Amino acid sequence: MVPRQPAQPSVTFVNEYCQIYQHLFRELRTFEAFQWLHLGIISELPRKSLPQIARAVGLKDGQALHHFLRDAPGKVSQLRATRLWLNN
């Protein structure tokens, strides 16, 4: 089995928040896309499209983000349960 690699760091508070959800993602790429989307959402971009977010986080295009949203292995119920757990 290949040892798990750490995700590329971004903004500290985004890393800390997303780290709570990392157990829901089996692959590093999907977890990084999860972080990139969060970073893009809180950015000061005037238009929050996938290509714009991709450019803002240093990707060449929005395909990785598109594939994450289309094929994300996590279940919404698991994400929601974790988010609600954080609020308690």
State residue 40's pLDDT score: 93
Please say whether the beta carbons of 24 and 79 come within 8 A.
yes
CB 39 within 8 A of CB 10: yes
How does pLDDT run along the chain (88 residues), one tens digit per residue? 556 666 665 678 888 888 988 988 888 888 999 999 999 999 999 999 999 999 999 999 999 999 998 987 667 788 888 888 887 7
Half-sphere exposure of 37 (CA within 13 A, CB side): 16
Nearest alpha-carbon partner for 59 in 19, 8, 13: 8
Domain ranges of the chain: 12-87
Q: Is this prediction's pTM over 0.85? A: no
- The pLDDT value given to residue 54: 95
Roughly how many angstroms between the first and final C-alpha of the chain, as a whole number?
A: 36
